[in-house]
Amino acid sequence: MGFSEFLGNERIVQALRTMLRREHVPNALLFVGPRGIGKFTLARMFAQAANCERLRPPRHAGDDFCGECDTCRKIARLAEPAALIEQGLAERGESPDAAAVERMPLILETHPDVWAIVPDPVRRRNPVARPMIRMGQLRAVQRAAYFRPEARRRVFIMDGAETMRWSDADVFLKILEEPPETATLILLAPRADALLPTIRSRCLTFWFAPMATEQIEGLLKGRAEWKAAERKLAAQLADGSPGAALGLDLAESGRLRREVLRLVGDAMEGKSYRAIFAATTRLAKEESESFENVLGLFYSLLADLLVLSHNPKNYAPRNPDLRRELEGLAGKVTDTWVSRATDSLDRLEGRLRRNVGRQLGLDAVAESLRVR
């Protein structure tokens, strides 16, 4: 057990280990990269190494962890956050009001020094309320950051840091401005520009590079229930994220991508609004994937359409299983159409931050997909 178990991004691992070894750890780190690339895993491993009972100075360099001591084991439980989130929500009650959400912030704590903060799914009457980091969670971190650690370092892993309201970020900035010596905050986000510049500039940023498709395919060998062709497809769809590949439900992914592509095709052909709106309504309420990921599917299908419309030969589409359908549509695609469609997707992504309705946003995207 230890950092050697981490796959890919060796240079980031080395940089973190050097900091630990030199006992020169910044108070705020920002891990940037797509979901499933390993940001959360590496942050958790960092917390273990910073607090491991066995591999600690002076006898050890203090830049790795054993995975077996009591501290390592407790922190390791963060690797399965779903159950911890369920537990937190259950303790709060199923339909809390807004005040209760702030009063009982969702904190995942399996060791007193290491907290994981994740976007609060809330689960109020509105089933499509966007999960986000709440003010209550930020305030709890603000208080706890100044407690003396029981082990050596308090580590706060903030997943989905980009979901924090910009107006709430002041509280957070205070921690970053007067950071306690013994605490490190690790912010995780898919893109750096999704965070306030004032927050970004106070963090040491690491950019996680995607893993090679072949490397991911090798990793999937462990999934004996998948045929070789399925492993290959999963590795391609994962777009460089080992976690995305391992967690992929191929049948479900195929269904959803087909549905998005059908909407794209129907919109291009100028089908009736009734048909289009039925599809956007379904997608806006999609539960198997986050809405951000559904938008990601639009981008990936548009990217395929763009290349197939120019240079279909020798192109390996991002959605190889939909190649025939994509080729059928590619003939109608022009560069203007693609740029109009991506513009409207970009706008919708930007509006999600302000919690503007998904349904209306998707309708606007569908409208932009019409071939004029």
Chain residues that interact with Zn ion, rule: CB under 5 A: 52, 54, 65-66, 69, 72
Written as six digits, the tokens of 68 are: 């077996």
Q: What type of residue sits at position 120?
A: D
> DSSP secondary-structure letter at 253?
H
> DSSP secondary-structure letter at 29?
E
Distances (CA, A) of 3 to 26, 56, 351: 19, 14, 38
Written as six digits, the tokens of 252 are: 């479900």
Residue 352's closest CA among 303, 304, 302, 294?
294
Q: Is the dihedral of CA 240, 86, 43, 352 positive or negative?
A: positive
Between the two ends of the chain, the Cα-to-Cα distance in Å is 58
Sheet containing 108-111, strands listed edge to edge, beginning at the edge strand earlier in sequence: 108-111, 114-117, 154-158, 183-189, 28-32, 204-207
Of 54 and 262, CB closest to Zn ion: 54
Of 47 and 366, CB closest to Zn ion: 47
Closest distance between Zn ion and the C-beta of residue 52, in Å?
Answer: 3
Of 184 and 280, CB closest to Zn ion: 184
Written as six digits, the tokens of 132 are: 């986000």
Show Cβ contacts of residue 336 under 8 Å, excluding neighbours closer than 6 positions. none
Q: Tell me: cis bond preceding 58? Omega within 30 of 0 counts.
A: yes
Of 54 and 223, CB closest to Zn ion: 54
Closest distance between Zn ion and the C-beta of residue 75, in Å?
Answer: 9
Closest distance between Zn ion and the C-beta of residue 45, in Å?
Answer: 11
Please list, residue by residue across 206-224, b when 16 or more beta carbons sit within 10 angstroms of its beta carbon and e when fewer do: bebebbebeebbebbeeee
Closest distance between Zn ion and the C-beta of residue 62, in Å?
Answer: 11
Q: Which residues pair with 120 in a beta bridge?
A: 132
Closest distance between Zn ion and the C-beta of residue 76, in Å?
Answer: 9
Show Cβ contacts of residue 179 under 8 Å, excluding neighbours closer than 6 positions. 27, 28, 145, 185
Of 66 and 185, CB closest to Zn ion: 66
Written as six digits, the tokens of 201 are: 């500039």
Q: Which residues pair with 32 in a beta bridge?
A: 189, 207
Closest distance between Zn ion and the C-beta of residue 58, in Å?
Answer: 16
Of 43 and 52, CB closest to Zn ion: 52
Are the C-beta atoms of 231 and 221 separated by less than 8 Å?
Answer: yes
Closest distance between Zn ion and the C-beta of residue 59, in Å?
Answer: 13
Q: Which residue has the tokens 């830049």?
A: 63
Of 54 and 370, CB closest to Zn ion: 54
Closest distance between Zn ion and the C-beta of residue 77, in Å?
Answer: 13
Of 75 and 175, CB closest to Zn ion: 75
Closest distance between Zn ion and the C-beta of residue 144, in Å?
Answer: 22
Of 69 and 250, CB closest to Zn ion: 69
